[in-house]
Structure 1
Amino acid sequence: MSEVSRRVGIVGFGHLGQYLVEEIEKRNDVELAFVWNRTPEALMGKVSDSLILKDLSNFKERGADLIVEVAHPSISQQYGPSFLAHADYMVGSPTALADPELESSLRSAATSHGLYIPSGAFWGGDDIKKMADRGTLQALKVTMKKHPTCFKLSGELEVLNKTVKDKAVILYDDKVRGLCHVAPNNVNTMAAAALAAHNLGFDKVQGTLVSDPSLRDWHIVEVEVWGPGNMLEDKAFHCKTVRRNPATFGAVTGSATYASFLSSMLGAHSKGPGVHLC
């Protein structure tokens, strides 16, 4: 058996949090430092009493090497900088960073530990980040298509989505920053894209959200990239990928994203301070 190398704290015990806890307990290269949930009753009988952290502000006592948020964007607002002072931090709800003050705060706090952004359903993130690092990334567009029941929206988008009947409707087509505030549960992929494409950011990466009643078994994510060359004359580098992610009817998160998130968690280490896509 290999030696345990890292202790992981899980913040949130929804479907994704439960999946991560189950997978960690099967492994011998990582172990649970703690599990926290907004309603502790949900942990009873599912997590050992010794691992339940009732007050998240006491996280330091558990000695986690990596803290993984899979709860709500507000966790990063309230605890993100504190987490980073003591451990690596993986943000499962990167839509939180659409708040420019929080993004700046977390980047500034990541001086002794790493801030990790899971790629999730964002395909080609490493290549896009490399282009951003070189300054050759000119434009990026992410389109997400799901069945109307798969969205958790607010405001005008929620109202519009309820009108979708027989054919696909574009709910949103604008900069990603605005979408993160009204669909935080649905567009973490777009937030990851905006962070990878750091030379463009939340205000220049384009996000398109499509409600499509024909997509009962799939979530579709299209990533379109423009690089070196003349975009105006259609002579620039261009790449488009289409990811068809199997999904249970009505599910917010596609099935393949769970395994992808686990891989991100296992890869979230040893990169040092700063912001890292994983």
Structure 2
Amino acid sequence: MSEERKLRRVGIVGYGNLGGNVTSCFLLFQTHKGQYLSDMILKEGSHFNLELAFVWNRRSEKMENNIPADLQLEDLNQFKEKHADLIVEVAHPQTVKEYGEEFLRYADFMVGSPTAFAELETETRLRKAAETSGKTLYIPSGALWGAHDIQKMADRKTLKYLKVTMTKHPDSFKLEDPIKELNEKAREKRTVLYNGSVRSLCSLAPNNVNTMAAAAMAAHNLGFDNVHGCLVADPSLPDWHIVDIEVTGPTDEKTGQIFTVKTTRQNPASPAAVTGKATYGSFWSSLLLCKGHGGRVFLC
């Protein structure tokens, strides 16, 4: 008799409530993903060699009638008892800062809030934790087209410049001042809300720039300070999110020609949605890639 195949156990950190009263739009978006991933694993997980190890949410009552009682984790500090092979964070950047290092001691860790790494101390700690434990720190590429190519160039130190421009309807941005005030005025014409380093932008637009944070992690030879982010509010785009990526590589010493790549991703989105419709499927595909890639950061 052949040996029974061992299922890969996945813990989900963040669940929330699809139709409830959620005060933070960031939490609403992230916990939508938590529900989506939990439901997918419960319904389809066995087809992909996956099973649900646990689901944790700040308010446990949100999981009632949806998550079996034995899979509801009341105290996140007890996650070790569930023996997860992979932990997926879809809660909040603060969760990454507080628990990420400990998660990586016991499991691979997929970070749904990479804006947490705009804090250099957090990025340094978690990179080191992955290296020490041999577990993989996964960063989902989301809307970042060409993420692996960017990372390969960074590995070879041939990546010289990277800019990510995100254009959305003003209602799709969830921002902090001072760019929040600027966005509220961007109802009549296309307006550039921000153009500068991704590190400075993450605290101003934590709901919207996970794609840019993923880009900064991929472009590790440039980092958060030297990857450029641009936010554009365009009232003529109620149903689309557009992501433009500009990459500059090495210059040919003989000809002076410069390697460049420019891509445009147009993602259908519901009016006022923080994320586009394709992102949930992309996140699930990223999870399926998290099968252990050693003690390093891996774009998935």
Classify the TM-score, shorter chain.
over 0.9
Partner deviation per Cα, 1:131-157 (whole Å, 9 max, x = no partner): 111111110000001111111111201
Does residue 97 (structure 1) correspond to residue 117 (structure 2)? The answer is yes
- What TM-score do you get using the length of structure 1 for normalisation? 0.96
Does residue 19 (structure 1) correspond to residue 36 (structure 2)? The answer is yes
Q: Superposed, which structure 2 residues align to 1:1-278 within 5 Å? A: 3-13=5-15, 14-25=31-42, 26-28=44-46, 29-110=49-130, 111-112=132-133, 113-229=135-251, 235-278=257-300
For 1:24, give the aligned amino acid. Answer: I
RMSD between aligned residues: 1.5
For 1:193, give the aligned amino acid. Answer: A
| Structure 1 residue 9, shift from structure 2 partner | 0.4
Q: Percent identity?
A: 58
Unaligned runs of at least 5 residues, structure 2: 16-30
| Structure 1 residue 27, shift from structure 2 partner | 2.2
Contact 1:176-1:202 at 8 Å conserved across structures: yes
| Structure 1 residue 230, shift from structure 2 partner | 6.5
Tell me which stretches of 4 or more aligned residues in structure 1 moved more than 6 Å.
none
Counterparts of 2:165 and 2:174, CA distance in 1:
17
| Structure 1 residue 228, shift from structure 2 partner | 1.2
Q: Which 10-residue stretch deviates more, 115-124 or 211-220?
A: 211-220
Contact 1:4-1:31 at 8 Å conserved across structures: no
Counterparts of 1:38 and 1:215, CA distance in 2:
35
Partner deviation per Cα, 1:44-98 (whole Å, 9 max, x = no partner): 1111111111111110010100000011000011100000011000000000000
Unaligned runs of at least 5 residues, structure 1: none
| Structure 1 residue 253, shift from structure 2 partner | 1.3
Aligned residues: 276
Contact 2:163-2:228 at 8 Å conserved across structures: yes
SS in 1 for 2:178: helix
